[in-house]
Amino acid sequence: MIEFFHRLRAHPLLMFSLLALAAVVFTAHDFFLYPDWPAARIEDVVSVPDHTEYSFSDGREETCDLQTISAKIIHGPGKGSRITLTNYCTESNVYDTRYRKGDVVFLKETDGGWEITFVKRDVYGVAALSCLLLALAAVGRKKGLFAVISVAANGLIFYLGVRIYVDRGVNLLGISMAAMVLFTGICLTLIGGFTRMTAMSILGTLLGTLISFGLAWAVLNGFAFQGTHAWLLEFLVVSQDYKTIFLSELLIGGLGATMDIAMSISSALCELKDKNPGIRFSNLVQSGREIGWDIIGTMTNVLLFTYLCGGIPLMVVAARSGMSIWNYLLFYNNLEILRFIVGSIGIVVTVPVSIFLVAFLLSWERKEAGRL
């Protein structure tokens, strides 16, 4: 046994794999966490077409099937007994669920017997998270582990910021600014360590983000937010001005992309400086410009896909309802477009800010070293 643990210490990836497997197995049997929810495992499903429904706005039909389900109760009252359940499901499964053999479902007792409430999905979430952690450990090694820690820490900071706003009514924009500094500092420090490269990356990220946010704030306030349809935020007006909420979103939304750019430019220029200590300021700027221009295109597209992907379902519904794509973008997705524009401005601004900041500090280091 002692030899086994020594081998685990020598092979951390194997240890992470065993921990991930243990987490999945534990989650698959964690019914004690749901003391009030009876659960059953589906052993057999028979589906037959039942009727046709007009479920879409454009008049298209879909078939509704009747599922006869045989299941065994594995947790709660009647444990070990077998029951028969029925379930209606459509082809689209928008408002219903199609159950399969092997699914574990939670039940509620009714006058006529048992009824399915929903599928036990926590095991799938833990399995996906375990795959992510294993991939980070396998590819990133030590830095992959630090990446996981930074994500967890930033998630905790985000949660605490929301709780402070809800419980104490502190200005949301002020909380977002403080969170932005913490997000940047924790993430880049854990990944890059306490180095000059990390310090330059943090400065570049904060300056680029604040400049782009300042530009967006000036433009939006100059036009008095005219043309901005905040229909998704209107229900929050009673507790907080939607403009403050939206500006907070702008401040944090593009932070990940600007951090990536600032870190990439800083690490590349620091590496050039280490390989060639006598490199001039103009050469550093030129090298940084070549690096930055290559990054801008890809990172801008990352933001575009990130912000627009959430609107695909509504876009499809709007198109099927006869609404033009232009009207959908104008009235229902304009906030996402604004976030994309501001985030892209942050990316573009961060490139020259990081280049000149890093090149200046590295050149200043060379001059100071020459004096000594």
Q: What is the DSSP string of 319-361?
A: HHTT--HHHHHHHTSHHHHHHHHHHHHHHHHHHHHHHHHHHHH
Question: Which residues in 59-89 are b (16+ Cβ under 10 Å) and which e?
Answer: eeeeebbebebebebebbeeeeeeeebebeb
Residue 340 near residue 289, CB atoms below 8 Å: no
Q: Quote the longest CA-to-CA distance of the chain.
A: 89
* Residue 342 to residues 49, 275, 358, Cα–Cα distance (Å): 50, 36, 24
- Concatenating the DSSP letter of every residue in 99-110 gives --TT-EEEEEEE
> Taking a C-beta distance cutoff of 8 angstroms, is the pair 209, 251 a contact?
yes
Question: Would you state the pLDDT for residue 41?
Answer: 92
Pick the closest to residue 98 from 135, 149, 49, 133 (CA basis): 49
pLDDT by 10s per residue, the chain, length 372 = 555 545 545 566 777 778 888 888 898 888 888 888 889 999 998 888 877 765 555 566 778 888 898 999 998 888 888 988 888 888 777 778 889 998 899 988 887 678 888 888 888 888 988 888 888 777 767 777 777 788 888 889 888 988 888 888 778 888 888 888 888 888 888 877 777 778 888 888 888 888 888 877 777 676 555 555 555 555 454 455 667 777 777 778 777 778 888 888 888 888 888 888 777 888 888 888 888 887 887 888 887 887 777 777 777 776 766 677 777 666 666 677 777 887 888 888 888 888 888 888 777 765 555 544
Residue 67 · residue 46 · CB < 8 Å = yes
Q: Could you say which DSSP state residue 76 is in?
A: S
331-365 confidence digits (pLDDT tens): 666 677 777 887 888 888 888 888 888 888 777 76
CB 64, CB 87: distance < 8 Å:
no
Q: Which residues pair with residue 44 across a beta bridge?
A: 70
- What's the CA gap between 82 and 69, in Å, rounded? 10
Cα torsion 342, 347, 349, 350: sign: positive
Burial of 281 (0-12, 13-18, 19+ CB in 10 A): middle
Quick: pLDDT tens for 58-95: 566 778 888 898 999 998 888 888 988 888 888 777 77
Q: Which pairing describes strands 39-54 and 61-75: parallel, antiparallel, or unpaired?
A: antiparallel
Q: Residue 233 in contact with residue 245, Cβ under 8 Å?
A: yes
Amino acid at 152: A
